[in-house]
Structure 1
Amino acid sequence: MAGKLLFSFDELTQKDKSVKVLEKHFKRAGANVVSVDVEPRIKRASGVSYREISLTFSDSQVVKLRIKRPGDIYQVMLNRKVMPLRHQDDHAKAIGEIMQAMEKGRTAFQKRMAKAKVKLPKRMKTAAPRMEKQLEEKRDALKEAVEDARQQLAELKPDAVA
C-alpha cells in the first residue's frame, strides 16, 4: 500500500474514499466484508476523541477501528477485544495481522456464537399458544360431530331392522 491510510475525521461517512479503500484492502486480503458502519458521534476515552468504523465480515466477526482527530487509527478492536498491532504504520501489514487474528480465533468465536441464546423481544409472541387453543376447539367440535353422527346412525338402525 502506497502511503498511509488517512481518514477525514470530521467528514467520515460510509461513502468516504478512505473507507472504500479500507474495505477494498480487506477484500484483497481474503475477507468478505458484509457491512461497513461509521459511528456519527464523536466519543472520548482516556483523553482521546475518536470515531468508530465497524466492519462486519461474512462469518459475523466484527472489527472496529477507532479513528482519532488527525485521521489515523489509534485502536483496533476485534470482536469487542482490544487488539495490539505490531505494524501500526504499515496498513497492509496491519490488515494482515488482523486477518491472522480473525483466522486464529474463528472456531472459538463460532462456538461462542452457537452457545449464545437469542431472546425474543417482549412484544413479540409466538402463535403456538393461540394455534394450540384453536386446534383443541376444532378437535372438540369434530368429536361432537362424530358423536352426533353415531347417535343418528343408532337411531336409524333399529328402524331398518324392524
Structure 2
Amino acid sequence: MGALIFNFEDLCGDVAQQSLSKYFQGAGEQLVQATVDPQIRTSSDIAYKTVDLAFADGQRLTLLVKESGDIFSVLLNGKAFPLVSQDDQEAAMSELVKAMDDGREAFQAALAKTEAIVPATIRMSAPKVEATLQARLMYLNEAIAATKAKLEE
C-alpha cells in the first residue's frame, strides 16, 4: 500500500487541500479549487466525505473518500470513472492524473463546442455601440465630402 495523501480526519480543513494541491502539482496538474463537504454521508453502510476538485484546464474531479482514506467512487467531469486501485491512494491518484491527461484533448474540444448562454438579466450594449459608431461614420463621411467640396472651390 502506498503512502497516504490524506486521511479522513484531515478532510475537514486546509490539510487536505494542501496535500492534494501538492500532489497534483507534482503530477503536472494545476489544482485551482478543492472543496471538502464536512458532512459525513453514508451509502450502503459506507461512511464517506465528498471532495470536489477543479483544475486550471476546466476539468473537475469528485472523490468519495471512505473513513479508511480509500477513494471508493470517482466522478471525472461529471461521469463515473472506475478505479482499479481503490485501496491505494497513490496508485488511485496516478490513475486519475493519467485519465485526465488522456481525456484532456476531447474535454477541451467538447468545452469549445458548448455555447455560452447569456442570462436575460444581462443586457448587451453591442447594438447600441454599433449604432453610435455608424452615426459617427456617417457624420465623418459628410464632413469629408464638405471638405472636398470646399477644396474644389
TM-score, normalization by structure 2: 0.74
Residues 31-110 of structure 1 aligned to structure 2 (within 5 Å): 31-39=29-37, 50-68=48-66, 70=67, 72=69, 73-110=71-108
Please identify, of 26-35 and 82-91, the stretch whose mean Cα deviation from structure 2 is larger: 26-35
Paired residues of 2:5 and 2:20 also in contact (CA < 8 A): no
Higher-Rg structure is 1
Change (3 A) 1:89 1:44: closer
Change (3 A) 1:4 1:33: closer
Q: How far is 1:101 from its partner?
A: 0.8
Change (3 A) 1:144 1:106: closer
- What is residue 124 of structure 1 aligned with on the other side? 122
Runs (4+) of structure 1 exceeding 2 A deviation are 1-5, 37-52, 70-74, 132-149
Q: What is the aligned residue count?
A: 149
Q: How far is 1:48 from its partner?
A: 5.5
Paired residues of 1:4 and 1:90 also in contact (CA < 8 A): no
Q: Secondary structure at the match of 2:32?
A: strand
Q: 1:36 is aligned with what amino acid?
A: A
Q: Which 5+ residue runs of structure 2 have no aligned equivalent?
A: none
Cα shift readout 1:32-80 (whole Å, capped 9, x = no counterpart): 2122223456666666664422222222111111234x26333111111
Pairing 1:5–2:6 present: yes
- What is residue 26 of structure 1 aligned with on the other side? 24
Q: How far is 1:98 from its partner?
A: 0.6
Paired residues of 2:36 and 2:51 also in contact (CA < 8 A): yes
Cα distance in 1 for partners of 2:103, 2:113 equals: 16
Cα distance in 2 for partners of 1:74, 1:66 equals: 6
- Identity fraction in percent: 33
Q: Secondary structure at the match of 1:5?
A: coil
